[in-house]
Amino acid sequence: MVYFLVFIHIVVCLFLIGVVLLQTGKSADLAGAFGGQGSQTAFGPRGASNLLTKLTTYSAVIFMLTSIGLTILLSRSSGDHSVLSGTKTTQTTPAKK
C-alpha cells in the first residue's frame, strides 16, 4: 500500500510541476510588460478558469491528500521512534565556581 501511494504521489508531483509550468502568468499580456495590470482589482484581472487551472487545483488536492496519507501510514508502521532514539546521552555536571 505504501509503495502504491508513493508511486501515485510522485506521478502527481511531476504532473503538478508540468501543469504549473505550462500556465501563463497573470500579467503576460502587453500591458503587463510595462507594469500595467489592466484592471483596478487588488490582485490583478482574473478571467474564467480554464482547463489548466482546474487540473492544477485537482492535482494539488490529490498531492496534499497523498502527503497526509503517506505521513499517517509511515508513522503507524515505524512506531513511536524519535529522531534521537538511537543516540547515547551523557549527562555532565556543571562546573563549580
In tens, the pLDDT along 47-72 reads 557 888 899 999 999 999 999 999 99
One-letter amino acid of 80: D
What one-character DSSP code corresponds to residue 96? P
Confidence class for position 75, pLDDT limits 50, 70, 90: confident
pLDDT digits (tens, 9 = 90+) for 2-51: 899 999 999 999 999 999 998 877 655 555 556 555 555 555 555 557 88
**In angstroms, rounded to a whole number, what is the distance separating the alpha carbons of residues 13 and 15?**
5
Tell me the average pLDDT across 63-87: 81
In this predicted structure, what is the pLDDT of residue 77? 74
In this predicted structure, what is the pLDDT of residue 92? 77
**In angstroms, rounded to a whole number, what is the distance separating the alpha carbons of residues 4 and 83?**
26
Q: If we measure between CA atoms, which residue out of 74, 45, 71, 61 comes closest to residue 12?
A: 61
